[in-house]
Amino acid sequence: MVALLYKIIHTDKQYNQYCNRLEELTSKKKRSRADQDEIDLLELLINKYDEENDPLADADPVTLLKSLMKEHQLKAADLARLLNVSEGLVSDMLHYRKGFSKKTIQVLSGHFKLRQDAFNREYALKV
């Protein structure tokens, strides 16, 4: 009997192990086809777990970001440095005055290890 390398995620510990492995693979400069297959499988398993266990799964991107900032103890200034933008732009994003750019979505999803579509949802801006 062959033991499977990956299984459906059932625990936070398993989830964190898979996320760490995914980060290792995606940070490689050169990836083999086997690496890419492993990345695809891990993303599928992680996304499934996220969808089933994330209370913020349906949250708008700003609410999600604010929650992640609180969880990771990040201030607007920290976020500005991470995104390489002004604190004013971060303030506008957090107050629903500016939407997230493609680059912002990529950086946030990479930093917080979330799917890009978590930050790429429609939400109302204040005019």
Question: DSSP letter at 117?
Answer: G
CB 47 within 8 A of CB 40: no
Return the CATH superfamily for domain 61-118.
lambda repressor-like DNA-binding domains (1.10.260.40)
Q: Give the angle subtended at the CA of 38 by the CAs of 113 and 108, to the nearest 5°.
A: 15
Q: Coil, strand or helix: which one is 49?
A: helix
Say if residue 82 is exposed, middle or buried (CB neighbours under 10 Å; 0-12, 13-18, 19+).
Answer: middle
> Which among 34, 44, 20 is positioned nearest to 113, based on CA atoms?
20
User: What local confidence, expressed as pLDDT, does residue 69 receive?
Assistant: 94
Q: What is the pLDDT tens value at each position of the chain, 127 positions in all?
A: 777 889 999 998 999 999 999 999 998 889 999 999 999 999 999 988 887 887 666 789 999 999 999 999 999 999 999 999 999 999 999 999 999 999 999 999 999 988 888 899 899 999 7
Domain boundaries defined on the chain? 12-53, 61-118
